[in-house]
Amino acid sequence: MSGAVRLLLVWAALMALLALTVGAAFLPIGMAKPWVAYAIATAKAILILWFFMEMRRESGLARLAAIAGFVWLAILIMLTATDYLTRRWIM
C-alpha cells in the first residue's frame, strides 16, 4: 500500500470515528456517555500517533518520549481529579 493511500485511509478512519462520537452523543446511555467519548478519542489519538506521527517506524527511545507525554498528562488529570472527586469528603 502506498504512503498516500495509507494516510487517506487513516484520515477516513478518523472521520468515521468523529461521526461515531457525534452519533454516540445522541444515544440514551446516561453516565456511560462521556466514557464512550473518551474511548473513541483514545482510538483517534492512537491512530494519529501510530500513522501521522510515524511512531510505527520510530526507535524505542522516540516511543518512550511519546509515552512520557501521556504519562505526564495522566499526572495532570489524576492529581486534578484528586481535588474534584474528593471535595465532598470533608466539608
Partner 1 sequence: MTDEPRFEHPPEERAPSYLAESHSLRSWFFTTDHKRIALLYLVSITLFFLIGAGAAALIRLDLLTPQGDLLTNDGYNRAFSIHGIIMVWFFLIPSIPNVLGNFLVPIMIGTRDLAFPRLNLLSWYIYILSGLLTLYVVVSGGVDTGWTFYTPLSSVYANGAVVATIVAVFISGFSTILTGLNFIVTIHKLRAPGMTWSRLPLFIWSHYAVSIIFVLATPVLAITLLLVAAERLIGIGVFDPRLGGDPLLFQHLFWFYSHPAVYIMVLPALGVVSELITAAAHKRIFGYWFVAFASIAIAVIGFMVWGHHMFVSGQSVFASAVFSFLSIAVAVPSAIKVYNWTATLYKADVAIDAPLLFALGFIGLFVAGGLTGLMLAMLAIDVHVTDTYFVVAHFHYIMVGGSVTAFFGGLHFWWPKMTGRLYNETLGRIAAILILVGFNITFFPQFLLGYQGMPRRYHVYPPEFQVLHVISSLGAALLAVGYAMPAFYLLWSLLPGGRRAPANPWGASGLEWTTSSPPPKHNFIAQPVVVRQPYDYPLAHPASRDDG
* Helices (runs of H) and strands (runs of E) counted in the chain: 3, 0
Interface characters, 27-66, with partner 1 (x: CB under 8 A): ----------------------------------x-----
How many angstroms separate the CA atoms of 69 and 64, rounded? 9
Among 10-18, 20-28, 48-56, 82-90, the segment contacting partner 1 (CB under 8 A): 82-90
Q: Greatest CA separation found in the chain?
A: 61
Least Cβ distance, residue 28 to partner 1 (angstroms): 23
Give the nearer residue to partner 1 in terms of CB position, either 5 or 79: 79
1 binds partner 1 (CB under 8 A): no
37 touches 25 (CB < 8 A): yes
